[in-house]
């Protein structure tokens, strides 16, 4: 089975496919001035965009790792997540508190999904 790379760059690819399994790069917000709700919405919009490029939807997501800079944001992130997630097809999920790459970044998500394209 060969690897396929979606939008490869010098440092990383947007996603790497092995067969029909896609490993998305960490999705992060661009606007770091927003609160956890705004940043979570932006990250989930990016997940939706990559999934669409792979020919899938959130129903094709198998697993999500959610990284929060502050676990006090857990409820705020979950409020946005709960409005977004496909309740009929929820992925496995884990949430951790970590130091993120840039000041002001409150959330990052890593997705493993089926890529039906």
Q: What pLDDT score was predicted for residue 2?
A: 85
Domains of the chain, start order = 3-114 (3.30.1330.40)
Q: Where does the chain show beta strands of DSSP type E?
A: 3-8, 13-18, 21-24, 61-68, 92-97, 107-114
Q: Which residues of 66-97 are buried (b: 16+ CB within 10 A; e: fewer)?
A: bbbbeeebeebbeebbeeebeeeeebeeebee
Q: Per residue in 55-102, pLDDT tens? A: 999 999 999 999 999 999 999 999 999 999 999 999 999 999 999 999
Q: pLDDT at residue 117 above 90?
A: no
pLDDT of residue 59: 97
pLDDT digits (tens, 9 = 90+) for 14-65: 999 999 999 999 999 999 999 999 999 999 999 999 999 999 999 999 999 9
Q: What is the pTM of this model?
A: 0.95
Q: What is the pLDDT of residue 35?
A: 98
1 or 113, greater pLDDT: 113
| Helix residue spans in 1-117 (DSSP H) | 36-53, 74-84
**What pLDDT band is residue 1 in, cutting at 50, 70 and 90?**
confident
């Amino acid at each position: 089975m060969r690897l396929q790379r979606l939008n490869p760059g010098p440092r990383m690819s947007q996603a790497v496919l092995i067969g029909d399994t896609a490993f998305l790069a960490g999705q992060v917000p661009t606007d770091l001035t927003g609160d956890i709700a705004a940043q979570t919405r932006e990250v989930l919009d990016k997940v939706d965009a990559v999934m669409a490029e792979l020919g899938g939807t959130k129903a094709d997501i198998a697993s999500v790792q959610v990284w929060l800079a502050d676990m006090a944001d857990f409820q705020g992130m979950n409020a946005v997540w709960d409005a977004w997630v496909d309740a009929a097809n929820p992925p496995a999920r884990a949430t951790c508190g970590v130091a993120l790459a840039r000041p002001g970044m409150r959330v990052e998500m890593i997705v493993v999904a089926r890529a039906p394209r």
